[in-house]
Amino acid sequence: MRKVIPSLLVCAAALLSAPTLADTLRMECPPSREGRQFCNDIKQRFEAQTGHTLEFIDLPRASDEKLSLFQQLFAAKDSSAIDLFQADTVWIGVLNKHLLDLTDRVGSMRDDFFPSAWQNNVVNGRVKAVPAFLDTGALYYRKDLLERYGEQPPKTWDEMARISTRIQQQEREAGHKNFWGLVFQGKSYEGLTCNALEWVASQSGGDFLTQDGAITINNPQAAQALDKAAGWIGNIVPRGALGYMEEESRAVFQNGDALFMRNWLYAWVLTQDSSSAIKGKVGLMPLPAGDEGRSLSTLGGWQWAISAYTKNPDAAFELLKIVSDAKSQREGLTLMGWPPSRIALYDDPQVLAQVPYLASFKEIFARAIPRPATQTKRQYAQVSRAIYNATFNVLRGSSDGATAVAGLQQRLERIKAREWR
């Protein structure tokens, strides 16, 4: 027995000192040449730092198809399907129980990211993802026309309406008969939920729901915001905008037929393309404020999340740290135009020298607010549908703001029932 015990101790020591067996992790990779370059650089860094192997998988481009696939994989608790992936801003609540809890691992990272983007990924006090890249609503404007008519970029929605009315009239009198003051996404779909949130929140009407899930939409300020937007239709906004999504709005603006456009940041590069009729004539700014001086925009973008079923959560988290660090975010911006989620990069001279227009995005992101998706979890699709349908009815004139917000309050309360789930 005396000889066996030392042998056992030697074996135990050997096991404790033995290196962890290498795993193969699987990560989503954008299906483009630039995306592959980004992923290959991540692979090189990850494998050199950890000794693990990284493989890539392609996922559907369409957001709804991608979410459906994830729901199928996670329902089966498939641990080999994927470890790290990008989740849309409004998916975190929907996929909550399938996402690895990062709370105890990311405490030191929080202050490096825009607060609203970080908060979007917190469900019931637990951090479920890290912001990958950002997007938000912004106001595009014709610099040349504002200068021609002696106007400044509007600070409020009322100023925007006044300037639009004046310049629209004068442009039409000058022969530009199909010129409009403003275009936005007015179709009854998710994009209208984003616009409605911006109008209502900037008018101090709240965010539809509080962070703890209480429904607050039935208030005079929210009703006033919807009525104000409805007053633009047919006056400074074409009635056809009730069928516009992002690209329809951009087509009108980029063709030179509108003074202002509410759209996402992707449109900036396209307006500056050599084929653009308004290249060099476009300005970009935060959305106008409401009557009480608040300028707010809807948060978009994507988040890095880890499957709760990963076989190696430690290695998956090391991978997440690499893809979300400053080096990777610089590369994502360079290769794919992903606006960084790290605040410091918006003051980085190297980044701004490469992408000068990024400086104007910092203030816009600082004012971005999440949609009420994290609170409403799997019921967000129903919530958004109720919001955009109620808003659409006001815009087309079949309801007024007060009636719409009262009905929306009741509708959301029925969807919630006892609690969001």
Model pLDDT, residue 365: 94
Q: What residue ranges in 160-287 does DSSP mark as E strands?
A: 180-183, 258-264, 282-285
Model pLDDT, residue 1: 42
Question: Which DSSP letter does residue 167 get?
Answer: H
322 in Cβ contact with 45 (< 8 Å)? yes
Amino acid symbol at 416: K
Cα–Cα distance measured from residue 259 to residue 146, given in angstroms and rounded to the nearest whole number: 8
Which stretches in the chain have pLDDT values below 70?
Answer: 1-21
Model pLDDT, residue 194: 98
Model pLDDT, residue 20: 53
Which tokens belong to 344? 């410091």
- Size (the chain), residues: 421
Model pLDDT, residue 19: 45
- 256-309, pLDDT tens digit by residue? 999 999 999 999 989 998 999 999 999 999 999 998 778 999 999 999 999 999
Query: The domain 23-134+300-369: what is its CATH number?
Result: 3.40.190.10
Report pTM.
Answer: 0.90
Q: What residue ranges in 94-152 does DSSP mark as E strands?
A: 122-123, 126-127, 130-142
Alpha-carbon dihedral of residues 33, 34, 39, 44, nearest 10 degrees?
90
Q: Where in the chain is the domain with CATH 3.40.190.10?
A: 23-134+300-369, 136-298+374-416
Model pLDDT, residue 281: 98
Cα–Cα distance measured from residue 76 to residue 169, given in angstroms and rounded to the nearest whole number: 60
Cross-strand partners of 17: none
Cα–Cα distance measured from residue 172 to residue 159, given in angstroms and rounded to the nearest whole number: 20
- State whether CATH 3.40.50.1110 applies to domain 136-298+374-416: no
